[in-house]
Amino acid sequence: MYCNYCGKVIQDDANLCAYCGRRVGAVMARKRLIRPRVGRKIAGVALGMSEYFDLDITVMRLVWLLVAIFTGVGFIAYLIAWIVMPEEPEPLPAPSHPAGVTASQ
């Protein structure tokens, strides 16, 4: 398989290009606009948008801040996005032993 961005040969099951670090192929189609649980500062809106648009989180946070300060619309848009964007599903804990097997066996 080839990277769509840098054109180098990568593994067929790779999610990220080892050369340029971008998401590749089928992974792009599975992206959803969600608020991640890990790495967020306030509500995860900026982090979710930066992952969706594949931008640096610092750039996205700076854009949100500038729009909020200079127009005031950023505050309202952030609150609406906080309400509308779904939160990342909570991971389920793995069972400590296989189902049907008791600890005494």
Q: What is the pLDDT of residues 7-37, one digit of tens each?
A: 788 777 777 787 887 777 654 445 778 888 8
pTM comes to: 0.58
CA 12 distance to own-chain centroid:
22
Identify the pLDDT of residue 25.
Answer: 61
Split into its structural domains, the chain has a count of 2
pLDDT in tens, 93-104: 776 766 555 555
- Provide the token pair at 60: 């996205």
**Structural domain of residue 4, as residue ranges?**
1-28
Question: Is there a single domain that holds both residue 41 and residue 79?
Answer: yes
Integer Rg of the chain from CA: 19
Identify the pLDDT of residue 92.
Answer: 73
Closest CA to 83 of 43, 31, 48: 43
Q: Give a yes or no: residue 97 inside a domain.
A: no
Closest CA to 13 of 24, 29, 22, 4: 24
Helices 45-52 and 57-71 pack at an angle, to 10 degrees, of 120
Question: Is there a single domain that holds both residue 18 and residue 36?
Answer: no
